[in-house]
């Protein structure tokens, strides 16, 4: 009998989707707006929280697979994060679940009687660069233990760019209280990321077509109102509210620095979801006092297809899928890192130096650099790959400076 019971239990586990929840500690959603950016939820860590336990404590996970049933989970790994330090990651592979679900806490029917009055927004992106793109099917479930009660409301298709999506439940006429995000398997492996989940009954459209441009000390933002009557902006931790224009410029910024910005609309006293982005300020243009300017690449990490040198420089390659030039660990002129370029397969490669200020006449400048050629017949060279020619830019000097390489 024990064996029969065990077999029946196993059969029941296979037949029923695996449900994970900690509902006894949780209240239903009884105050809107509801927001979860997952920053305060347990995340997976090696030797710490398991993937299975890395899940919002008041949400419900449903995974109908029989292996890797810990998807989706909360991750803080760089490739799995959209905003902040944590996001929810769905992942699928041919033998994994047919469907992975993340259910919000149930909406309190005593406070919000009709789901059809609500609006959900979230950020999402996929790891895939080409079709088939994964999708999130947003719907409502009557029973969190029964996936056949899932009623789809809208489908959003993910791309490799983090995008703010919104879903209206206006066409939902059922009685379910569990808002669910379902991620079905597609014919190729993928990860799908979810962040900044926002549920409201007072929807305000976010601004549209947000653009950001940065000089070395200014950031200019512009957007379309999209129904908003005023706007709020966050730059890192500084908030500016009550903006009635559809543009704003921050000045006095630090050059060559990554800034995080966000813009939200305000309509009838309600704030929209935040449109978020990051941008790096440029380097200041080289002026007379910056000369002589030297770049020996010694401060940067090296490696094939790595471009971790100063962002004041830019580069290009005639081959769209190849990423030359790159910093290589070659000894030239007594140091250890140089810029490797000159693959025989490329029609051209280029590297541009930090921009020169308009106050300088470029025809008065002189560019010096040390260069050394490494070829295949010199296998002892530490350069990678060994058959590339390498040039090292050593010094740019104003014409009054002596050549000194
Ligand atoms: Ca987050």
Can you give the pLDDT of all 405 residues of the chain as single tens digits? 344 444 444 444 444 555 655 445 689 999 999 999 999 999 999 999 999 999 999 999 999 999 899 999 999 998 999 999 999 999 988 889 999 999 999 999 999 989 999 999 999 999 998 899 999 999 999 999 999 999 999 999 999 999 999 999 999 999 999 999 999 999 999 999 999 999 999 999 999 999 999 999 999 999 999 999 999 999 998 999 999 999 999 999 999 999 999 999 999 899 999 999 999 999 999 998 988 888 888 887 777 666 666 778 888 888 877 777 887 776 565 677 777 777 777 788 888 888 899 998 888 888 877 766 654 334 334 444 333 333 333 344 443 333 332
Q: Do both 228 and 184 map to the same domain?
A: no
The rounded distance, in Å, linking the Cα atoms of 225 and 114 is 29
Kindly give the distance from the C-alpha atom of residue 276 to the centroid of ligand 1, in angstroms, as a whole number: 12
Kindly give the distance from the C-alpha atom of residue 198 to the centroid of ligand 1, in angstroms, as a whole number: 12
Kindly give the distance from the C-alpha atom of residue 69 to the centroid of ligand 1, in angstroms, as a whole number: 22
Q: Do both 50 and 141 map to the same domain?
A: yes
The rounded distance, in Å, linking the Cα atoms of 28 and 111 is 10
Kindly give the distance from the C-alpha atom of residue 113 to the centroid of ligand 1, in angstroms, as a whole number: 29
Q: Do both 123 and 62 map to the same domain?
A: yes
Q: Do both 330 and 188 map to the same domain?
A: no
Q: Do both 346 and 247 map to the same domain?
A: no
Q: Do both 267 and 391 map to the same domain?
A: no
Kindly give the distance from the C-alpha atom of residue 82 to the centroid of ligand 1, in angstroms, as a whole number: 6
260 located within any domain: yes
405 located within any domain: no
Kindly give the distance from the C-alpha atom of residue 42 to the centroid of ligand 1, in angstroms, as a whole number: 12
403 located within any domain: no
The rounded distance, in Å, linking the Cα atoms of 263 and 277 is 9
The rounded distance, in Å, linking the Cα atoms of 364 and 341 is 27
Kindly give the distance from the C-alpha atom of residue 244 to the centroid of ligand 1, in angstroms, as a whole number: 28
CATH classification at residue 87: 2.60.120.200
Kindly give the distance from the C-alpha atom of residue 28 to the centroid of ligand 1, in angstroms, as a whole number: 22
39 located within any domain: yes
Kindly give the distance from the C-alpha atom of residue 29 to the centroid of ligand 1, in angstroms, as a whole number: 20
Q: Do both 187 and 313 map to the same domain?
A: no
CA distances (Å), 381 to each of 46, 306, 314, 378, in order?
A: 38, 19, 26, 6
Tokens of 234: 């966050």
Kindly give the distance from the C-alpha atom of residue 39 to the centroid of ligand 1, in angstroms, as a whole number: 5
Give the domain extent around 266: 208-280
CATH classification at residue 238: 2.60.40.10
Kindly give the distance from the C-alpha atom of residue 167 to the centroid of ligand 1, in angstroms, as a whole number: 19
Kindly give the distance from the C-alpha atom of residue 87 to the centroid of ligand 1, in angstroms, as a whole number: 5
Kindly give the distance from the C-alpha atom of residue 76 to the centroid of ligand 1, in angstroms, as a whole number: 9
Kindly give the distance from the C-alpha atom of residue 30 to the centroid of ligand 1, in angstroms, as a whole number: 22
- Rounded to two decimals, what is the model's pTM? 0.78
379 located within any domain: yes
Tokens of 202: 């007072």
Domain boundary among 200, 220, 239: 200
Matching residue, tokens 């409301």: 153
Total structural domains within the chain: 3
Tokens of 365: 């400048």
Q: Do both 195 and 230 map to the same domain?
A: no
């Amino acid at each position: 009998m024990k064996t029969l019971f065990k077999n029946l239990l196993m059969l029941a586990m296979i037949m029923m989707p695996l449900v994970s929840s900690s509902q006894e500690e949780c209240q239903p959603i009884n105050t809107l707006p509801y927001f979860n950016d997952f920053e305060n939820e347990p995340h997976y860590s090696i030797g710490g929280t398991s993937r299975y336990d890395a899940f919002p404590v008041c949400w419900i996970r449903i995974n109908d697979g029989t292996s890797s049933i810990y998807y989706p989970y909360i991750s803080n790994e760089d490739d799995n994060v959209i905003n902040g330090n944590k996001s929810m990651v769905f992942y699928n592979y041919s033998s994994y679940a047919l469907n992975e679900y993340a259910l919000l806490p149930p909406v309190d029917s005593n406070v919000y009687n009709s789901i059809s009055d609500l609006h959900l927004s979230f950020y999402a992106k996929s790891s895939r660069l080409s079709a088939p793109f994964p999708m999130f099917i947003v719907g409502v479930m009557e029973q969190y233990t029964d996936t056949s009660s899932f009623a789809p409301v809208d489908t959003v298709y993910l791309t490799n760019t983090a995008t703010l999506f919104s879903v209206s439940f206006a066409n939902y006429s059922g009685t379910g209280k569990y808002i669910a995000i379902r991620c079905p398997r597609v014919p190729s492996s993928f990860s799908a990321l979810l962040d900044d989940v926002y549920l409201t009954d007072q929807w305000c459209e976010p601004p549209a077509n947000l653009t950001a441009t940065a000089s070395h000390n200014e950031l200019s933002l512009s957007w379309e109102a999209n129904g908003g009557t005023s706007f709020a902006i966050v730059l890192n931790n500084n908030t500016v509210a009550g903006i009635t224009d559809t543009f704003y410029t921050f000045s006095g910024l630090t050059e060559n620095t990554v800034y995080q910005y966000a813009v939200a609309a305000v309509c009838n006293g309600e704030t929209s979801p935040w449109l978020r982005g990051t941008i790096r300020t440029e380097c200041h243009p080289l002026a007379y006092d910056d000369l002589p300017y030297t770049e020996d690449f010694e401060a940067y990490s090296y490696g094939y297809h790595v471009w971790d040198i100063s962002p004041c420089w830019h580069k290009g390659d005639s081959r769209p899928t190849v990423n030359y030039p790159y910093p290589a660990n070659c000894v030239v002129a007594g140091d250890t890192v140089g810029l490797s370029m000159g693959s025989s397969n490329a029609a051209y490669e280029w590297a541009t130096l930090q921009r020169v200020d308009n106050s300088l006449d470029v025809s008065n400048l002189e560019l010096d650099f040390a260069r050394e050629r490494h070829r295949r017949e010199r296998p002892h060279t530490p350069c990678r790959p060994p058959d590339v020619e390498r040039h090292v830019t050593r010094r740019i000097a104003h014409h009054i400076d002596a050549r000194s390489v």
